[in-house]
Structure 1
């Protein structure tokens, strides 16, 4: 019989999202000799994530969609948890709706139930508020990606912060990659305004397009490079199709080569309505990229390359800041890493996984 600690990472879907990336990073880096790890997720499952789980020997259990078949989803979750006798259920989310998964875990006999907050807001505030008092009683350990995310979900209750860790060494500015991508997209002499993110209400791409239109009015050489996909993709595409500047907007889609994308950009823009601790903002800064960011985003991610603006401001204000900011030399970008090495190391996946490992060990043996 295995002496490994059995852990289930639970999320309501497994698309191309920040939460999915964090889960995959944890599962790839945690010690497999010590932990038996399973990802349990409702559909849709991104094919890239399914492939990455298979390549790295991560068990992935797919459930029916929580949104389309909620009863089947929760019944299936209960069966999986009941049959597999997990030591820890680690639920990742952004609201008190996690109470449902945590309750099912308790019903299935799981004694250690972790709620992990990844955001500072949620789409359905009414349900969140109703469930919150009960939610705060059903988890046994609270984790958050940052202070704002923890305060938002757990209030005055105790929680531990684990920054969203990743392979920081992979996100250095690469001049050759910059040249390659710009040539590939035929934007070699253009000012590249970039954005990487899921196309949804939170990321606020509509505001970004309005902002870019103001940039394009005064800078004919500007292009907007949008990387990602999501539920609002068709709506955003419709807005672009009706824009006078549609020929200057590139919908790149999904890619794993994000370092190359950051290297090709001259400024990164994130006009989110809310955020926990956005990994894309950490990655962008690690390539020495100046960033224009909504003041709804936590200041915990600021390495000194961020200019904060309100999304209540007129897009012209953002456009002005973008044009003033996107003038950094490649030499400055190459030197960025050594300048901020201490802050960068705090987000290294090895550090954050070691922290998570210590928490798991403590919970199992207390």
Structure 2
């Protein structure tokens, strides 16, 4: 658990399931940096720390020991191709329900990680008894085009992200953003997959055309220092906010004027759903599945060059009264399918059906 999107999805479901029927225990690697221990404990869950998967012998030994000791009826693995390790251990000790959940895919630029994914992917269907995926795209990528799997939406609290003009005003004031400043927003862990340096290039290309533009990064991660250094090298630090890991992301969406996600790949980005619910125009990399476009109004563009992104954002920035008249607090498109309470109730019924089979 490192504070990424998958962890956010798991925790969101955990908060909303009927815990009188289903309870979660969490097996997390010892090198996890953002485990919400207090919240998990308060909700009745337990946390078991195990050796990181980079130490495969110790990792597998501890998995087998815990699963034999605890006798969990369901093991639900949320680590994509790495699910082969916990699910093979679960099968060895006789866990009856073994769920592999695909949350991601694969993209260019991560040679070592991609090589490991390609080695492990052929085993994706060997150990699970049930297959879940965050999108059709992610499911087909991991399990195969003709595989039988169920899409479990990356659901959110719809009301929590509803646009509110007063919240927008307060949040921009807290951030020091003037009313006539156009704010580009990005939420994501600083890692190669998220491609934040591309957005820095976009901003650098925008500033000669529209000087009242700023870029806000929300999140943390190993690439943050490198991106900050790149911003300094380009001499645009006055136009970039590094807001770090935040617990009030729902309020920050209100302050943005456009949401951008130039990822190299995604399964189905929960931040994209959140941004659309906040009424933001969204610009995604064309490497991201179109399934994320739940309002029918998002744009997908290549990340080979920032020029198209610059042109598109310039057009948005030039629209009059964007800050007040173009945002909506109404549910649109298929976003109701991402209501967390409805999705959590459905997941509980699935768990119960697996046990009763």
8 Å Cα contact 1:39/1:61 also seen in 2: yes
Distance of 1:78 and 1:113 partners within structure 2: 14
Unaligned runs of 5+ residues in structure 2 are none
Query: 277-286 or 126-135, which moves further after superposition?
Result: 126-135
Distance of 1:253 and 1:46 partners within structure 2: 14
**Aligned partner of 1:315 among 287, 306, 313:** 306
Q: 1:180 to 1:329 in 2, by over 3 A?
A: closer
Distance of 1:19 and 1:63 partners within structure 2: 19
Displacement, 1:136? Answer: 1.2
Displacement, 1:130? Answer: 2.8
CA RMSD of aligned residues (A): 1.7
Residue 365 in 1 paired to residue 356 in 2? Answer: yes
1:101 aligned residue: 86
Distance of 1:65 and 1:224 partners within structure 2: 35
Query: 33-42 or 223-232, which moves further after superposition?
Result: 33-42
TM-score of the two chains, using structure 1 as the length reference: 0.90
Distance of 1:45 and 1:56 partners within structure 2: 20
Residue 16 in 1 paired to residue 8 in 2? Answer: no
Distance of 1:178 and 1:136 partners within structure 2: 46
Equivalent residue of 1:230, what SS?
coil
TM-score of the two chains, using structure 2 as the length reference: 0.92
Equivalent residue of 2:78, what SS?
strand
2:52 aligned residue: 65
Distance of 1:138 and 1:132 partners within structure 2: 12
**Aligned partner of 2:64 among 60, 67, 78:** 78
Q: Deviations over 1:16-41 (max 9, x none)?
A: 11110111122222222212320111
Equivalent residue of 1:236, what SS?
helix
Matches within 5 A, 1:258-277: 258-277=249-268
Q: Deviations over 1:47-95 (max 9, x none)?
A: 462233233332222223333x443333222221111000000000232
Q: Deviations over 1:265-309 (max 9, x none)?
A: 111110010011111001001111001110111111211231110
1:7 aligned residue: none
Unaligned runs of 5+ residues in structure 1 are 1-13
**Aligned partner of 1:255 among 229, 232, 246:** 246
8 Å Cα contact 2:105/2:141 also seen in 1: yes
1:87 aligned residue: 73
Distance of 2:327 and 2:229 partners within structure 1: 35
Equivalent residue of 2:234, what SS?
coil
1:43 aligned residue: 30
Q: Deviations over 1:150-202 (max 9, x none)?
A: 01001122111111112111001122222222222221131101100111111
Distance of 2:60 and 2:14 partners within structure 1: 23
8 Å Cα contact 2:17/2:341 also seen in 1: no
**Aligned partner of 2:104 among 119, 130, 145:** 119
Equivalent residue of 1:275, what SS?
coil
**Aligned partner of 2:343 among 345, 352, 366:** 352
8 Å Cα contact 2:134/2:151 also seen in 1: yes
Residue 141 in 1 paired to residue 130 in 2? Answer: yes
Q: Deviations over 1:301-322 (max 9, x none)?
A: 211231110112x212211111
1:197 aligned residue: 188
8 Å Cα contact 1:15/1:49 also seen in 2: no
